[in-house]
A and B are shown apart, each in its own frame.
Chain A
């Protein structure tokens, strides 16, 4: 009883300002800055060299790539901002060194600035058609935007640049999205018979898995997902596989797949969704944490657009607010139109019960040219 009263008094004394942190000793760690401590000295040295000679493209690109990899690894977009800062010397220069432009475009892609990134790459490949990585990145961006014809052109450029395997995979991916399941599958399988490094094998197998999922062949999809993860375990494949499992109401398996993974927004969202459906112990905490992150991110006006996919899923599956989810799913497809984005739009439209929204989702998929059995079953 006394304890309860004490707690209450503490409550009334505490101010209204969020959550102040009051360290008790100088040795207390108040923030963890980097996953890998050893790199700090190296990073600082590189940063000083870059500051001393900002026009040195080799140093600037090395620093920017380092930051971009850190952004991917830690899921922290502020490192993408730092990568841009390293390349700031050429911000206005269209004749910047090719490596600078390529790196800048890759960073912009990470930040979901798809159009400016694609324009940068288009200028670049005109200047240097042999730059295979630029073609591959361009093809990926156009595919994400649902602009398959432009993606095809970039795949063709990739072939001319001499990257035969990547060009084949690039085109097979686009064909598969258009519903040419059998021919695309055959080409992927042909490629997979060759000697491949683990990363490429994972990439191809994940493409196969997603193709089979769209082709309504869940057993084959699952097999490909498992093969992809055993070739090389990566975040993207895990998330895609988790979505696949959850679509089949195999939430407990999705949880097992994602438990222990770094808690990016995308991972946390799936943990919260599957956790809530299976009444898992941590679900309440996960939902709360994600809600806090969303609220904080939305304080920047307009920032919601780059998080719209996750926020639409949150509204639809966790808050059961289909109308809000539909609004967010619409904002999302203005930016990105992967199969998951169009499916999400259709799911939100269906849940909202609005016939015209379902029609809109159907028309958009047709306009993009996507063939997805899951979507057709839904609408």
Chain B
């Protein structure tokens, strides 16, 4: 039989590593006028404009910089907002899960009276499956999501409408295609996520353990001595746990509200460093002039950003945002409380053993230093040494 058919292309394609081509638009109006930001994948722009000048398949920053004028002209010709003359404000690059995007900031002094129409034909002749996903925020109102299909662009009587703003009837024309933002119900799953994250977040647990190891002892000039009663151990523990809780709640909230953020490439190794420093401090006082709770507080700020990284991946719905955040944090604290209670009880029972300073504090801290250092290396060099 000589007939040879192609079976390779028959396999159902679940084998995607990327999503379809989307551009992201953020349109906002304020009293100063209208601002519009558009992020387009460099892969897409390359197909339209051959950004990769030397054709080696690797796009360098120099090639992108040289192509900015061409990109500006391309986008300028394919993106209009009804009643507004857009002027370019700046460029940037943005890294997203599926690649790097060129971000163009545009602005206009115009004051649309309603949701303006957007004429969008970017990628029209390159990829008919491309879409522009526009998030439109008028003043203080709730953002509206609109999907722009370059194959069916919006039209209005005159493409370039001079100031002032168009008539109300034109401005109120229906959107070409619109879809409501997906709405997700929040149940108590964020509480469970919080508990889950602290219990399985070995780095946070190890940091807490480092702080707790000496809590049933006190530092004397002769070395570590066990405390006499539980009371003496409880107050330092309460201080440490409160400081850690306060600190990570602050940064977790700041990050969740998007008021502050640190890339995980910095935060993850920093967390590893806090473990190493806390463990070294057990062996040889590093922060003798500071109360232990203050040091814990400073380090706790870093751990809060680590928690925020997890929370950010969950795509919290804006409407129930505060509730979800509270739940997540409560979950963290509950998990933390369970760990602290179990650990401190055990350590309290062991405290009078002669081997405690040498083996529990010394050995435990040495182990923490080792693990923390390996984590630090893993997280800065992006290699895998440890199994967790």
Contact = CB atoms under 8 A, between A and B. Distances in A.
A296 B274 contact: no
Interface stretch (A14-22, A214-222, A223-231): A14-22
Nearest to B180: A301
Given A75-B15, A112-B13, A296-B98, A34 B57 contact: yes
A301 B42 contact: no
B204 to A, nearest CB: 13
Interface in A79-126: 80-82, 84-85, 88, 91, 106, 109-112
Contacts of A41: 55
Contacts of B1: 163-165
B104 to A, nearest CB: 14
Interface string B251-268: 100100011111100110
A263 B98 CA distance: 12
Contact of A264 (B15, B43, B61, B96): B15
Contact of A32 (B5, B59, B145, B388): B59
A40 B55 contact: yes
B126 interface: yes
B198 to A, nearest CB: 14
B228 to A, nearest CB: 32
Nearest to B46: A33
A309 B179 CA distance: 23
Contacts, number: 276
B15 A338 contact: no
B371 interface: no
Interface in B3-24: 3-22, 24
A75 B18 contact: yes
B14 A309 contact: yes
Contacts of A36: 57
B65 A77 contact: no
A132 B5 contact: yes
Nearest to B18: A76
Given A31-B59, A68-B9, A166-B5, A81 B15 contact: no
B154 interface: no
Given A10-B262, A281-B388, A300-B147, A78 B8 contact: no
A148 B372 CA distance: 57
Interface stretch (B112-120, B129-137, B353-361): B129-137
Contact of A85 (B60, B100, B127, B266): B127
B18 to A, nearest CB: 4
A74 B97 contact: no
Interface of A: 1, 3-5, 7-8, 10-12, 14-23, 25-37, 40-41, 44, 68-69, 71-72, 74-78, 80-82, 84-85, 88, 91, 106, 109-112, 132-133, 136-137, 140, 144, 162-166, 197, 199-200, 203, 234-236, 239, 262-268, 279-282, 288-289, 291-293, 295-303, 307, 309-310, 321, 336, 338
20 contacts: A11-B260, A21-B100, A31-B42, A32-B58, A33-B42, A33-B43, A33-B58, A40-B52, A75-B16, A75-B17, A133-B5, A239-B15, A265-B14, A282-B384, A293-B19, A299-B22, A300-B147, A301-B145, A301-B180, A302-B179
Given A72-B8, A264-B14, A279-B387, 10 more contacts: A4-B301, A19-B96, A30-B59, A31-B42, A109-B12, A111-B13, A163-B3, A239-B15, A281-B386, A303-B19
In order of increasing CB-CB distance, the 7 nearest A-B pairs are: A26-B62, A75-B17, A81-B127, A23-B61, A81-B129, A37-B57, A16-B258
Interface of B: 1, 3-22, 24, 41-44, 46-47, 50, 52, 55-62, 64-65, 92-100, 125-131, 133, 145, 147, 179-180, 182, 189, 251, 254, 258-263, 266-267, 270, 273-274, 277, 286-287, 295, 298-299, 301-302, 305, 313-315, 384-388
